[in-house]
Amino acid sequence: MKRVSLYSQSRRLGAYAQTGRNVSLGISKAAIAAAAQAAAEAQAALEGPPKRPSRAAVALRNFRSRYARPLSIAASSLLTLAIVAGYNYATTPRKLTQRDIDQAVLHTLDKQPPAPSRAAVAYDIIRPSVVRVNQVGLKESDDTERAVGTGVVIEESGTILTNIHVVAGAERIQVTFFDGTKSDAHVVSVQPEDDLAVLKVDTVPDDLKPATLRSTRGLNLGDEVIAVGNPFGIGPSVSSGIVSGMRRDYISPKGKRTLTNLIQFDAAANPGNSGGPLVTADGEVVGIVTAILNPTDQRVFIGIGFAVPIENAAAAAGLSPF
């Protein structure tokens, strides 16, 4: 079957196109151009003659064309200044009031409690090793220094260091440990030249913690120390100070005791502190508190105390020196 052609390739159609005439309407291109011209003239007649710009508009146009670049630079500068001023205003801190400071401090304390003092840390370390030493059955006396003293545990077996004058003449010695456990004790050795006595308890508490002993070779004037004991029977009590002297000599008020090579310190000590430990800021024992210096007969602390170096005390207990 023969296909029907959709588009005719007739030579007649081509001829009409070459003449420039509209095939369907029979209107020439010249007629169309004349009609467009007539329409444009009619529209111009309706709008009237073009309006002349005013003097102000002309002046503004001339000003803009002449100063366009300077105006652009000025505008950019003003914008930059505005941004900088706004930033400075936003970032400049306002003046703090006392209320602001108080609230900041309280907020910090709530989030992070203050760290304990060095003395508190040292006491926490040495506390389980400090004991109260009592002369039980002692007749009523005003000699508090003999009735109550202090000691420090140096071995897990229950070996305790204290002063001779704390236990001298006792009919019975009782030791109270930091957990409240009580035990009778007896003297196993003495070292009179250093006023040192070594005690052994009859009953050893569970988990008894001996103190850590430290040589005085690295001890310097100004180093922090604490004294732990039972001053006037009140305790355990802790006082802090510094090492104020080394290799000091001490003569008791009545001349009955002469001690040499002592550590001088200014942590408060009173009757009842005798036999207690003198401890460094890291909780290590460098001496055994043995005396206080007071020119009067009141036997109270006025700023100078003495401790036997731990090397001497360790030797009294039969421990090898440092």
Q: Which domain holds residue 307?
A: 216-316
Whether residues 244 and 291 fall in one domain = yes
CA distance 57 to 319: 111
Mean pLDDT (the chain, rounded): 81
- Domain of residue 285, CATH code: 2.40.10.10
Q: Does 52 or 151 have the greater pLDDT score? A: 151
Whether residues 263 and 304 fall in one domain = yes
Q: Does 22 or 314 have the greater pLDDT score? A: 314
Q: Which of 263, 271, 262, 259 is nearest to 300 (CA)?
A: 271
Q: Which of 195, 237, 239, 244 is catalytic?
A: 195
Whether residues 306 and 259 fall in one domain = yes
Last residue of a domain, one of 175, 201, 227: 201
107 is catalytic: no
Whether residues 312 and 220 fall in one domain = yes
291 is a domain residue = yes
165 is catalytic: yes
Q: pLDDT tens for residues 175-198? A: 999 999 999 999 999 999 999 999
Whether residues 252 and 287 fall in one domain = yes
Q: How far is CA 288 from CA 29, 91, 275, in A?
A: 130, 60, 6
268 is a domain residue = yes
192 is a domain residue = yes
pTM: 0.64
Q: Does 309 or 66 have the greater pLDDT score? A: 309
Whether residues 190 and 223 fall in one domain = no
Q: Which of 129, 237, 240, 274 is catalytic?
A: 274
Q: Which of 300, 294, 266, 278 is nearest to 144 (CA)?
A: 300
Paired strand residues for 149: 133
Last residue of a domain, one of 201, 230, 245: 201
> 172 with 201: CB under 8 angstroms?
no
Residue 11 has pLDDT above 50, yes or no: no
Domain total in the chain: 2
Whether residues 306 and 242 fall in one domain = yes
Q: What is the pLDDT of residue 44?
A: 58
User: What does the pLDDT average to over 198-219?
Assistant: 93
Whether residues 311 and 248 fall in one domain = yes
What are phi and psi for residue 173, nearest 5 degrees? Answer: -115, 130
CA distance 202 to 205: 10
Last residue of a domain, one of 201, 226, 241: 201
Q: What is the pLDDT of residue 152?
A: 97
Q: Which of 218, 121, 217, 132 is nearest to 174 (CA)?
A: 132
Sign of CA dihedral 25, 31, 36, 42: negative
- For residue 237, how far is the Cα from the chain centroid? 28
Residue 104 has pLDDT above 90, yes or no: no
Q: Which residue has the tokens 């006082």?
A: 239
Q: What is the pLDDT of residue 9?
A: 47
186 is catalytic: no
Whether residues 247 and 273 fall in one domain = yes
CA distance 253 to 171: 26
Whether residues 231 and 193 fall in one domain = no
